[in-house]
Chains A and B, each alone.
Chain A
Amino acid sequence: MAIEVRIPTILRNYTGGQKSVEGSGATLEELFTDLDGRYEGLRERLIDDSGVRRFVNVYLNDEDVRFLGGLSAPVSDGDTVTVLPAVAGGRR
């Protein structure tokens, strides 16, 4: 078993068009590092020095990881991680 990571359309150029990929790690950060070994550049699109990027929502199963400790959130086999672009904007 592994951790399934669902990739939004806009980032599928990093995964050869795949809608979902598999990875491993004990935390979200380790998972993203593991994925970056096979899908180079993906990690950089998801996180920056302060954690999960502002433009991106990352969910562990049904929860927004911002409420679970961000990148240090523990993950385990059988979990599903979903990435969605945040939908936001405004007048300025």
Chain B
Amino acid sequence: MLTISAELHAKILAHARADHPDEACGVIAGAVGSNRPERFIPMLNAERSPTFYRFDSLEQLRVWREMDDRDEEPVVIYHSHTATEAYPSRTDISYASEPCAHYVLVSTRHPDRDEFRSFRILDGEVTEEDVTIAPE
């Protein structure tokens, strides 16, 4: 199960809406082993595309080093789909390589309805999990 604060939940949705029609992506870091997403890090989509996203490799290095220095890990890795449901695509599954991360998918296909779902992706296997939004 993913437990996330209402504030971080809203930030992910706002980032996805702001970058629509391109896919938005980012990370929420948290202390290693804590399973608690705490530090919101929106990332550039180096592809600037409505159908694909990729973290800019140099930005990723900087952010991953910073997490390392702070004893953090990517607790959440999120991205948006802009015309399809919030479910991992084949490409998403083939790239997923952080075994401890919650993969959050949001969809901006409906202008007035949010979709926010969370998955574990391990060795090509997708498992959806419940999302609990915790008040501050």
Listed in ascending order, the chain A residues whose CB lies under 8 Å from chain B are 8-10, 55, 57, 59, 62-64, 66, 82, 84-92
Bound: A62/B62 CA distance, A: 9
Bound: A11/B127 CA distance, A: 22
Residues of A within 8 A of B47 (CB): 88, 90
Residues of A within 8 A of B61 (CB): 57, 59, 62, 64, 82, 84
Least distance between B87 CB and chain A CB atoms (Å)? 10
Q: What are 25 sample pairs from A and B whose C-beta atoms fall under 8 A apart? A: A8-B97, A9-B73, A55-B94, A62-B58, A64-B57, A66-B57, A84-B61, A85-B95, A86-B60, A86-B95, A86-B97, A87-B25, A87-B60, A87-B97, A87-B98, A88-B47, A88-B53, A88-B54, A88-B95, A89-B89, A90-B49, A90-B53, A90-B91, A91-B23, A92-B51
Bound: A59/B23 CA distance, A: 25
The contact of A86 among B57, B73, B82, by CB within 8 Å, is B57
The size bracket of the interface on B is 35 or more
Given the contacts A87-B25, A92-B90, A57 and B79 also touching, CB distance less than 8 Å: no
Least distance between A28 CB and chain B CB atoms (Å)? 15
Least distance between B122 CB and chain A CB atoms (Å)? 10
Name the CB-closest residue of A to B77.
Answer: A87
Instruction: Indicate if the CB atoms of A87 and B54 lie closer than 8 Å.
Output: yes
Check: B52 CB closer than 8 A to any chain A CB. Answer: yes
Least distance between A89 CB and chain B CB atoms (Å)? 4
Listed in ascending order, the chain B residues whose CB lies under 8 Å from chain A are 23, 25, 43, 47, 49-55, 57-58, 60-61, 64-65, 73, 77, 79, 81-84, 88-92, 94-100
Given the contacts A88-B95, A90-B23, A64 and B89 also touching, CB distance less than 8 Å: no
The contact of B57 among A57, A89, A91, by CB within 8 Å, is A57
Residues of A within 8 A of B91 (CB): 88-92
Given the contacts A55-B97, A57-B57, A85-B98, A90 and B89 also touching, CB distance less than 8 Å: yes
Name the CB-closest residue of A to B83.
Answer: A91
Instruction: Indicate if the CB atoms of A92 and B57 lie closer than 8 Å.
Output: no
